[in-house]
Structure 1
Amino acid sequence: MILCDYCGDEIQPDSPGVNVYNKDVDVRYVTKQDCIPVGFECASVCVKGDKIAYLKEGSILPKGFECVTVSVRDRDIVYARNQNLIPEGFEEVTVYTRNGEVKYARQGDSHPTEFDRVSTYAKNEEIKHEKESHLTPIGFEQVTVCVKTEDILYTRQAELKPTGSEPASVYVKNEDIAHAKCRQVKAEFHTECLNQCIPRSEEAARQFLEGASPKSNVLSIGIHVKYLFGEGRANPEQKKRKKEKRDRKAIELRRKVSALRNSNSGYILIHLVGLAPEDSFTGAFDEFADPKLHDLIQDDKQFCDVYKKQPLNSHYTCHGFGDFLVLYVGPSSNVTTSKFNTKTTLDDCIEDIRAETLRTFVRERKSLCNTFHSLPGVTQAHHLLNVHENRSIQLKSHFSQKKDARAIAEDIIKNHKLAEYISAFTKTECGGSFLYGVHEKTTFKKGYGYETKVNRIQPVILKDRTVFGDTLGDNIRNIVLVCDYDGNDIFPDPNIFQIHFIPCRPAEERTPAEEIVYRRDSGEPVHDGHGDEDGVVVHVAVRPVSGIVFHDKQGPLAYRYDRQFKRITRIDLKDWVRALTKRKISQQ
């Protein structure tokens, strides 16, 4: 399903659409040495005179355009034609390390005594050296090292680096922000939105700024009324598609509200695309937006003090814009976070952490123990029959029919939200245990007249535990972000989890009653545990962390709006932590 980036409605296969479009507010650049966020893709940049086009992979190069390398220097953008050059006056060298010492040997020089040859990687301003047999560190990119007398320069191959600039690529992911200094979007539009709705929205913003509030921050968002108001009777598939559209627009709305709250207030012009001229009802937008707006009040103010909504045509300069609302967004006394990307644990579940709860957690700077959560007395799966969920234990059923060890590991990450549970368990004093292969089955207590739950073991059959453990561990490390109370990445990997396998008892040792436990609810027989395919319960033990663990490598999503350059930017993790723990955030 392809959705229009402006109105959010579907672009039908037979309807004309525009794949790439340069929107001032929404085009950003992410430097190549930054980690490419999960779900983002690279877009080619090409130029023709002063015109710039962004192309998806596989798109045809527009006539008269040529592909370029994009470089950034502060706020200046430089487009350089691709060349395969070593910077002038530099020569390539081999890098060696011993303990923390680094040596650079020119070609033909002898190998330094007791030094190891290494590969060199870059991430932002951080340089890392790894032995050549090691894998590329997560988020790093291999670089070529060049020297010029005593100067050391790290440069990407196949690119000319303009003086004082750093190479950059363009990455895209719906309407979200990348993990670095700046961002950009993949833009796909209906022809109607591109030619009519967007220019009309820009005109509305221009008139509003000129007549009502010339010095204010003003952003725009389009929302199609079909999935905002509904389309009459809908089948389950239509409801699912409608939810996807609403969720995507909710992300955009939260991002822009966060940016304005952290930038000393502003306005959002909401274009209700497709609204009938005679229809003045806007309650559907209130129903959609108000819960999300309320979540972004993270400084104990009242809703009515932070937000004000009214029809745009109520402003004397904006007559004729009856399908627009104007939403005033007040400033925040603390940093407003669109999405925290970390969880807290209750006794029966985990949930999104509240701003004040996280603020207190970081301010207290608790020094938690480094001991992994344990399950005393549990050596066989049947010992889990009387273990129940609490703030440190989570049980997950194994209904998947996947056989491959890698596929099972990826299913646990994707469908059972393991990274989210890890982020929650790390905030408790004793950590937590995630148990995959234990099903809580509802059963009726005869003679007592009520329902309760009992555990049923559902053995996970793993042909290769090593492959499974490595895959699960790599997935977790690629997703979670661990930082200290000041927002510094804890690197190298702090080892916040351990993977164990709790064996299921062989069939010959089970009682008749226990045999029933080892049958799946579907009636499919379970492997008896003999041979190479052993049935186990997967146990992920998590330790407490004196810091913050995020279940997304991006960390917290909080934004600012730069009115001068008309762009929304991410707040850096360290700046976010400082702002979170202060009484007020400095306004920009």
Structure 2
Amino acid sequence: MASQRVDSTDKCTCWISYKSFETSCTEPNIITFHIKASNFTEQDRKKKRIVLREFDTRVSALRNTAGGILFIHITHRNINDRNLSNFDQFVDKSLKNLIADGCSFVESYSRKWLSCQEGILILTVAKESCVSSVSLNTKVCSDHEIEFPSTFELIRFVSKGQHGVSEAPENPEHRPFHQNAKNWVEDRHIQLKTFDEPTFRTYCKGNNKSWEVNFVDYVWNKLRFQEYLTCMSKVPRGGSYYVGISEWKNQVPPDVHGIPLRSTKTNITDRFKQKLSTVTVYDFDDTFKSGYEEENIIEIKFHDLKTGNSVLEMVVKCVKGIVFYDNGPLAYAIEDKDKIVKIDKVQWIRKIRSWRMQ
């Protein structure tokens, strides 16, 4: 099968080496990737995430399209340095996360220098038998933390739902609100979040949005409610997410301090409901819909304190399906021999289901 070049390298010094390699390569696909050696030791997390997302996108596309070669040009490096420890450390977690079919790392990848002096590294990527996702965009929780599920967890979850095992009430389940701080204990059903006014003001700095818009964005993104929504919706009886109550710290009980509201409760509630349009719900009847269309997925309550502040409670119901944030799972493939495209979420779930039945 002829190789496929996905992005142009004709203005780069690696172009001649690429063309020579392409002529003799027998792999089904070739994708180029340029990276600075300084990226491997980048301390800025945001910059590091941007580079890794580009890397993950290319590896995902290869794994979901018959496999192939990632032709990596490492620039701004010592031409005599053959050490790959920094590169390995930089990409190791990403490469492991992109394995969804249970194969070992050594079955999935191999890498070698094509030319150390030119900084050209060849990463051979095996085909994925399931679907290789850059991000599942849904999470699960224990009593301690939230994290991405394994593909096997999702497959089992889908299987249970399709066989009618997954049952859930139609409405969120209410929980008692305590003003006694010692009664608060976090677990899979309860999440406590501090509202820190200085941190919130820093988050809002530089924009002229209304208070409720900034506040909802802050809770949704900075305090990660969108992620907790996806994991609490998988828990029997759902969960409650509170803003305005601190966590336990060693032997110090939570502080029920609340939020000094600068907008009406109705405006805040409406803004949160609008945010649900950015959430995607997969139903076990094989349909996807907006979180805004999922009836009673959350209920928003305010608990007034004697100080004049209010504690925000987001009650999440257990959903008969899978809730995703950011418009569903993120995975890529190569299309028309020269373009990397996002795999549609319907195709993604079909790959998950068909792999389960193999």
TM-score by length of 1: 0.54
Q: 1:580 aligns with which of 344, 352, 355?
A: 352
Structure 2 residues not aligned, in runs of 5+: 202-210
Shift of 1:229: 4.4
Deviation of the 1:321 alpha carbon: 6.1
Partner of 2:67 in structure 1? 265
* 2:80–2:117 Cα contact (<8 Å) kept: no
What pairs up with 1:243-262 in 2 under 5 angstroms? 243-262=45-64
Cα 1:388–1:454, aligned 2, differ >3 Å: closer, same or farther? Answer: same
Q: Name the Cα RMSD after superposition.
A: 2.4
CA distance in 2, matches of 1:384, 1:373: 21
Match of 2:297 among 493, 496, 513: 496
Shift of 1:560: 1.1
Cα separation, 1, equivalents of 2:246 and 2:77? 48
Q: Which has the larger radius of gyration?
A: 1
**Paired residue secondary structure (1:452):** coil
**What's the counterpart of residue 407 of structure 1?**
214
Please point out which of 250, 260, 283 is paired with 1:484. 283
Residue aligned with 1:489, SS: strand
Q: C-alpha separation between the residues in 2 aligned to 1:202 and 1:228?
A: 23
Q: Is the 8 A contact 1:333 1:584 kept in 2?
A: no
Q: CA deviation at 1:383?
A: 4.6
Per-residue deviation at 1:480? 1.3
Q: Which runs of 5+ in 1 are unaligned?
A: 1-23, 27-193, 231-238, 314-319, 443-450, 507-527, 530-534
Q: Is the 2:6–2:32 contact (alpha carbons within 8 Å) kept by the matching residues of 1?
A: no
Aligned to 2:311: 537
How far has the Cα of 1:276 moved from its partner? Answer: 2.0
Matches within 5 A, 1:184-583: 198-213=11-26, 216-229=28-41, 239-240=43-44, 243-313=45-115, 322-365=118-161, 366-376=166-176, 378=177, 381-383=178-180, 385-401=182-198, 404-442=211-249, 451-463=250-262, 464-475=264-275, 477-485=276-284, 487-490=286-289, 493-494=293-294, 495-504=296-305, 506=306, 528-529=307-308, 535-553=309-327, 555-562=328-335, 564-583=336-355
The answer on whether the counterparts of 1:369 and 1:429 sit within 8 Å (CA) in structure 2 is no
Do the aligned residues in 2 keep the contact of 1:218 with 1:268 (CA within 8 Å)?
Answer: yes
Aligned length: 337
Deviation per CA, 1:279-314, whole angstroms, max 9, x where unpaired?
22222111111121011111111111110100113x
Q: Is the 8 A contact 1:25 1:567 kept in 2?
A: yes
How much has 1:556 moved relative to structure 2? Answer: 0.5
Contact 1:426-1:543 within 8 A present in 2 as well? yes
The percentage of counterpart residues that share the same residue type is 26
Structure 1 moving runs of 4+ over 4 Å: none
In structure 2, C-alpha distance between the alignment counterparts of 1:467 and 1:577, rounded to whole Å: 36
Residues 363, 325 of structure 1: CA spacing in aligned structure 2 closer, same or farther, 3 A cutoff?
same
The whole-number CA distance in structure 1 between the counterparts of 2:153 and 2:10 is 42
Question: Within 1, Cα distance between the matches of 2:49 and 2:348?
Answer: 25
Match of 2:204 in 1: none
**For the Cα contact (< 8 Å) 1:431–1:542, is it kept in 2?**
yes
Which structure has more helix as a fraction of its residues?
Answer: 2
CA drift at 1:274: 1.1
* 1:461–1:536 Cα contact (<8 Å) kept: yes
Per-residue CA distance 1:61-85 (angstroms, 9 max, x = gap) = xxxxxxxxxxxxxxxxxxxxxxxxx
Distance in 2, matches of 1:334 and 1:291, equals 19
Which has more strand, going by share of residues?
1
